[in-house]
Amino acid sequence: MVHFTRSCAGPNGGRRLALALAVAATFARVANAEPVIVAAATRVAFPVTVEALGTTRANEAVEIRAQMSERVTAIRFEEGQHVEPGDVLVELDATRARANVAAARAALVESEAQLQRAARLRDAQSLAHAEYETRLASRDSARAALEVAQTTLADAAVRAPFEGRVGLRRVSIGSLVTPETIITTLDDTDPIKLDFDVPEVELSQLAPGYPITARSAAWPDREFSGEIASVDTRVDPVSRTVTTRGLLPNTEGLLRPGMFMTVMLRREDVQAIVVPEEAIVPDQSRQFVLVVDGDGLVSRREVRTGRRRPSLVEVLAGLEPGERVVVEGTQRARPGETVEVIGEVNVDEVAIDGGEP
């Protein structure tokens, strides 16, 4: 100190003395700096992986019922048969329906004949216009009655509304069926729907077209690939999940409605800012990191973290790419003090060595 006092004598001695003391203090801090290892926050590929449990549903499903009450006269399908739209599945007794068509057609012929006579009389001014309008209405009514009778006759043949596979037969020839009677079921299972619930925190990662894979205990060695078809417009307020619907090709017919499946959604096109998980310093419910600047000065900063994978943590807010954080030495480093950086971890290598999330 005597040396500093003597060398700083003169008009500017006080200023030189302060500068010398500051330099000495800096050297002292550096000499006592704690050694740490740091890593730079890095933006890397960070695929999103969501696992869920789902249930399969038919793409289209219907219970086959008759539109009229009548006896079954013929069954035109086999259980489990693949049918096309319009194929006849069951024929009902159409005797009464055909008789009604014949009666309606005869009534229409009679109404048209009366309308023609009324038209001639009207032209000859021998018939009031109101009477002609009455005959015209009668003809239209008879025509509508014929259409109803023909529709009823067509309902005597129960047809498949779409392409699919029929289920078990529940009626026999001679059975009296009504509109409440289930004759069989019809399911279109190619593709098959897969409904699964995803936590609302993953909602931003869901969109139609994203690929999914699914597995079933019935086929443990098979993996079924498909894509998201739609996402429900509402979040369940109790479970805080949103129902997501995927479509899986099912040309082999291995999957059936009602099966339980495990689902995995994986998005490769996701980038995220990450740091090694050792850099995160928890404090109650909050997360912090120790940031080291270019001069080795440490500052404590709160961050908001997201997804995790082996060795890495996603940082949603609080850090910018390139900023260095303490990875080893977080217990020794103190905010406001200087540390000695003795090594740096390459986050890109950690991302590769960490394996699959």
Q: Which of 267, 295, 322 is the last residue of a domain?
A: 267
Q: Would the pLDDT of 167 be above 70? A: yes
Same domain (yes/no): 99, 240:
no
Same domain (yes/no): 237, 220:
yes
206-244 pLDDT, tens digit each:
889 889 999 999 999 999 999 999 999 999 999 999 999
pLDDT of residue 18: 53
Residue 14 — very low, low, confident or very high, per pLDDT cuts 50/70/90? Answer: low
Same domain (yes/no): 343, 283:
yes
* Any domain includes 73: no
* Any domain includes 293: yes
Which residues are CB-contacts of 222 (< 8 A; sequence separation ≥ 6)?
215, 216, 254
28-61 pLDDT, tens digit each:
455 567 888 888 888 888 777 888 999 999 999 9
* Any domain includes 125: yes
Residue 109 — very low, low, confident or very high, per pLDDT cuts 50/70/90? Answer: very high
pLDDT of residue 15: 58
pLDDT of residue 28: 47
Residue 180 or residue 202, greater confidence = 180
Domain enclosing residue 336, as ranges: 29-45+271-353
CATH number, domain containing residue 249: 2.40.30.170
Residues 56/255, Cβ–Cβ less than 8 Å:
yes
Say which residue the tokens 């109101």 belong to: 130
* Any domain includes 84: no
Q: Number of folded domains in the chain?
A: 3
Residue 352 — very low, low, confident or very high, per pLDDT cuts 50/70/90? Answer: low
What is the rounded average pLDDT for all residues in the chain?
85
Same domain (yes/no): 98, 247:
no
Q: Would the pLDDT of 177 be above 90? A: yes
112-162 pLDDT, tens digit each:
998 888 888 887 777 777 888 888 899 999 999 999 999 999 999 999 999
Q: Would the pLDDT of 3 be above 70? A: no
